[in-house]
């Protein structure tokens, strides 16, 4: 097991649905030293089938034909696989499933969303430090890979310092710290003043996350706090060339580059559209391309919006000539439980939703209302998932184990988080 040198390194933060393969590959091309996968819940990938696609070399982990995680050998040495878990054994199984295709395993201990906390994962683990450290020790001892974790901070400074010291003793190689409290969101200023005391409390590298939205802030946070590495989320979502010291690449050029990567990797249309809409929001929602993008129902329609149909035609012709797949619009067919099928129907009905251009001028009060609505949606998802688990338990004697795994996956291969694929909802990115 090699120790990675985090000194002066920058990295793409784990972002639900955003950090799929096309975004990670672009981040590396523009100078990121490490890239994180979106959080993938342990049960969602345990038992997955590993498939290598000969046309582009991508490695696809599928459960009953549904992509859960896709990677490419070119990113392996710089890829951190983030697990969402509240169970040491399941976390280890998930890590061992993907071990041959990643360089590091990271445990998510900072996600504040209710659907994560409800399952005892994410930020909920910070309130159970013994469980958190138990999972980390199991991963450190059982994976044969470097292990890290990502946390938030408590308002209580001493409580935070006590936690990071416990985490260090598990044998993790680095600690990423998002400088916000559990209930704070991106609109709330991060607490950069807390990094230095954490750096001084442990001997392992500390990675700063929060409010690093442009290249100039990378050096700034290092100098002020003494952190070894810096992690970027929102800045990279808006323009992934944020890692480029020469400055940002024009917005539409980034959009077209992303579409090309999505085409080359055969990223599913629903995830591609979702990411593109996040790239436009909130600063470019008045751009003339935005409304047609909202209306695009297929990958070809997306290409039409950005004048890339000829490129798509050439790629499809090449794929057909070699006998390779070229469809990036169709979700794989699968057997789903009635509740899961109902969820998919809701997601499809929301697929064309597009926030008004005025969203960029939304007031703080309105944003809080949006959060309330989103949290209410999360609660409904949790209730639905709970009902689904009960149903699966009653059928445990006769139902195949794989069916339980498939129920926790999504159809766009980005994450097992329950978010409608095309709906540009407010996302807690960091």
Q: List the catalytic residues.
A: 111
Q: Establish how many alpha carbons lie within 13 A of residue 8's alpha carbon, considering only the half-sphere containing its beta carbon.
A: 0
Q: How far is the C-alpha of 293 from the C-alpha of 308, rounded, in Å?
A: 13
Question: 60, 9, 50: which is closest to 412 by C-alpha?
Answer: 60
Burial per residue of 126-148, b for 16 or more beta-carbon CB atoms within 10 angstroms, e otherwise: beeeeebbbbbbbbbebbebbbb
393-399: Cβ within 8 A, 24+ apart: none
Which letter does DSSP use for residue 128 in this model? -
Which letter does DSSP use for residue 192 in this model? G
Question: How are beta strands 49-52 and 104-109 bridged, if at all?
Answer: unpaired
DSSP output for 338-374: HHHHHHHHHHHHTTT----GGGGG--HHHHHHHHHHH
- Residue 134 contacts by C-beta under 8 Å, 6 or more apart in sequence? 88
């Amino acid at each position: 097991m090699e120790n990675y040198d985090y000194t002066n390194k920058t990295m793409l933060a784990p972002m639900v649905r955003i950090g799929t393969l096309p975004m990670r590959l672009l981040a590396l091309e523009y100078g990121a030293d490490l890239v994180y996968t979106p959080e993938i819940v342990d049960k969602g990938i345990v038992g997955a089938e590993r498939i290598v696609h000969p046309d582009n070399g991508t490695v696809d982990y599928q459960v009953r034909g549904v992509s859960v995680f896709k990677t490419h050998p070119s990113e392996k040495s710089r890829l951190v696989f983030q697990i969402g878990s509240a169970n040491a054994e399941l976390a280890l199984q998930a890590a061992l499933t993907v071990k041959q295709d990643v360089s590091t395993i990271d445990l998510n201990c900072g996600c504040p969303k209710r659907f994560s906390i409800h399952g005892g994962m994410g930020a909920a683990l910070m309130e159970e430090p013994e469980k958190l450290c138990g999972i980390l020790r199991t991963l450190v001892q059982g994976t044969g890979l470097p292990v890290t974790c990502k946390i938030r901070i408590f308002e209580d400074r001493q409580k935070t310092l006590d936690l990071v010291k416990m985490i260090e003793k598990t044998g993790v190689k680095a600690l990423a710290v998002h400088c916000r409290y559990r209930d704070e969101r991106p609109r709330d200023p991060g607490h950069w003043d807390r990094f230095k005391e954490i750096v001084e409390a442990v001997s392992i590298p500390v990675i700063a996350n929060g409010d690093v939205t442009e290249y100039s802030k990378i050096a700034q946070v290092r100098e002020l706090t003494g952190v070894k590495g810096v992690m970027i989320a929102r800045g990279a979502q808006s323009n992934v060339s944020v890692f480029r010291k020469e400055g940002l690449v024009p917005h539409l050029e980034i959009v077209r580059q992303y579409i090309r990567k999505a085409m080359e990797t055969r990223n599913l249309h629903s995830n591609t559209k979702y990411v593109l809409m996040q790239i436009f929001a909130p600063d470019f929602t008045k751009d003339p391309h935005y409304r047609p993008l909202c209306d695009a129902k297929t990958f070809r329609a997306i290409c039409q919006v950005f004048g890339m149909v000829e490129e798509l035609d050439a790629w499809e012709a090449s794929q057909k000539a070699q006998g390779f797949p070229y469809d990036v619009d169709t979700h794989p067919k699968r057997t789903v439980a009635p509740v899961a099928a109902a969820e998919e129907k809701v997601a499809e009905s929301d697929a064309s939703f597009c926030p008004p251009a005025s969203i960029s001028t939304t007031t703080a009060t309105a944003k809080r209302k949006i959060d309330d609505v989103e949290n209410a949606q999360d609660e409904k998802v949790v209730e639905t998932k709970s009902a689904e688990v009960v149903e699966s338990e009653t059928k445990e004697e006769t139902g195949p184990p794989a069916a339980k795994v498939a129920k926790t996956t999504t159809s766009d291969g980005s994450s097992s988080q329950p978010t409608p694929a095309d709906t540009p909802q407010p996302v807690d990115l960091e």
